[in-house]
Amino acid sequence: MIQTLVATLMWALVASLLIFRRKRADRSITYAALTIAIAMTLNVDAAYSAVDPLLGGTNLTTLIADALLMTGLSFLGRGVMKTGQYRPQLVRAAVSVPILLIALLALTAAFLVIDRGTTTTRFMIDLGEQPAAAVYSIINFTYCLVIVVAMLVLAARQYRHSTGIQRLPAALLSVGSAFGVALCLVVVGMDLAHTTGHLGLMRAFQGAYDLLSVLAFLFLCAGFAVQPAVRRAQHHARQRQTIAFTAQLEPIWLRATHARPGLSQADPLAAHSEDPEGHLHRVIVEIRDAMIDPRITFDINTDDRVVLERAESHLVGTDSAVAEASRVPSIEERGS
């Protein structure tokens, strides 16, 4: 049941990323999420029971699923790192390909030593008393622990350096990573308890494992799904602000281009075919050109100058200017 829920969450994340990130050139996060979704699907009892006999019935599917999980998490961590400028050396090392390859080789070596028997959907429960199985699981989840700690560090810093709705994805990723850290520690505890014969302690950890699995994947999936949605919402909000600034500056621009004809008059079709930010940039440039041209007399009042400066700040992406832009009165408000 838990594996099915986690797999469903991962496939929902893949679907949302395909929708919201379909136009982005970098699809590393989408591919990473797809890899993890496949790994989680292989852990579903029905899928595992169908696939493993095709591979010889020696639980090779366990190794494949765990290797896919480790690979997906590694590239997911790299994707989180790429979203910000903060890339400390330890984090870069943790999500690096060489470390991933070393972990996969160690995982495979430990797996080959396990007396695996025939296909079982309860791999660690049935075989966890073997030291080799415990080592195998500890290698797997220690590597996962390193990755989620790196993601937690990156997400927490992004949260501290973000404002408003930008904090939501970072907050969700931070909480999900924290649950992921707890999950990995619980699994390592289960492995040690099982191999040392403390079955009561292992069962106590098992209860926490189920809950932490759901919470970790729920918050991580939410964080990655919300990220492109927030980015798109911000893009639309910025575009609305750009159009609003252009509308407010249009009367000044018309006066400016009347006093000093520019490219907009020479090629009006090209001027109006520009994207909203390109058009606003042209409006600002032509107003400024008219203001500094010594051959003509053109000036604007203080209120119009404030709007012009805010529009300029908006184009260069000044955060405070964006906040201010939302408070700039509309044409109707100014004219009322």
161 and 269 fall within a common domain? no
Whether the predicted pLDDT of 266 surpasses 60: no
Mean pLDDT over residues 171-197, rounded?
Answer: 94
pLDDT at res. 323: 40
Picking from 218, 233, 248, the residue at the C-terminal end of a domain is 233
245 and 208 fall within a common domain? no
Provide φ and ψ at 221, rounded to 5°: -65, -40
What percent of the chain has a predicted confidence (pLDDT) above 70? 88
pLDDT at res. 24: 65
pLDDT at res. 261: 78
Out of 24-38, 184-198, 223-237, 252-266, the most confident range is 184-198
20 and 103 fall within a common domain? yes
pLDDT, averaged across the chain = 85
74 and 92 fall within a common domain? yes
Whether the predicted pLDDT of 320 surpasses 50: no
pLDDT digits 0-9 by tens, 74-118 = 999 888 887 767 788 888 899 899 999 999 999 999 999 999 989
186 and 330 fall within a common domain? no
pLDDT digits 0-9 by tens, 231-258 = 777 778 888 888 899 889 889 888 888 8
pLDDT at res. 273: 55
19 and 40 fall within a common domain? yes
Three-state secondary structure call for residue 151: helix
Mean pLDDT over residues 173-185, rounded?
Answer: 96
pLDDT digits 0-9 by tens, 267-315 = 555 555 568 888 888 888 888 888 888 888 888 888 888 988 898 888 8
* CATH number, domain containing residue 173: 1.20.1070
**DSSP string across 42-110:** HTSHHHHHHHGGGGTSSSHHHHHHHHHHHHHHHHHHHHHHHTSS---HHHHHHT-HHHHHHHHHHHHHH
For residue 136, the enclosing domain spans: 2-233
Whether the predicted pLDDT of 131 surpasses 60: yes
Helices then strands, each counted (H, E), the chain? 16, 0
Of 66-70, 174-178, 294-298, where does mean pLDDT reach its minimum?
A: 294-298
218 and 148 fall within a common domain? yes
Q: How far apart are CA 229 and CA 234, in angstroms?
A: 9
pLDDT at res. 234: 78
Q: Which residue has the higher pLDDT, 330 or 62?
A: 62
pLDDT at res. 216: 95
Picking from 202, 233, 264, the residue at the C-terminal end of a domain is 233
Whether the predicted pLDDT of 335 surpasses 70: no
Q: How far apart are the first and last CA of the chain?
A: 62
**DSSP string across 278-323:** HHHHHHHHHHHHHHH-TTS-----HHHHHHHHHHHHHHHT-HHHHH
213 and 260 fall within a common domain? no
pLDDT digits 0-9 by tens, 18-51 = 887 666 656 788 899 999 999 999 999 999 999 9
The total number of residues written for the chain in this structure? 336
Three-state secondary structure call for residue 137: helix
| Number of domains making up the chain | 2
Mean pLDDT over residues 177-187, rounded?
Answer: 96
Out of 126-130, 318-322, 332-336, the most confident range is 126-130
300 and 178 fall within a common domain? no
Mean pLDDT over residues 147-168, rounded?
Answer: 89
Whether the Cβ atoms of residue 199 and residue 138 lie closer than 8 Å to each other: no
310 and 286 fall within a common domain? yes
Picking from 233, 253, 279, the residue at the C-terminal end of a domain is 233
What percent of the chain has a predicted confidence (pLDDT) above 90? 45
Whether the predicted pLDDT of 325 surpasses 50: no
222 and 242 fall within a common domain? no
294: buried, middle or exposed (CB in 10 Å: 19+, 13-18, 0-12)?
exposed
Confidence of residue 327 (pLDDT cuts 50, 70, 90): very low
Torsion 269-271-276-278 (CA) sign: positive
179 and 191 fall within a common domain? yes
Three-state secondary structure call for residue 334: helix
292: buried, middle or exposed (CB in 10 Å: 19+, 13-18, 0-12)?
exposed
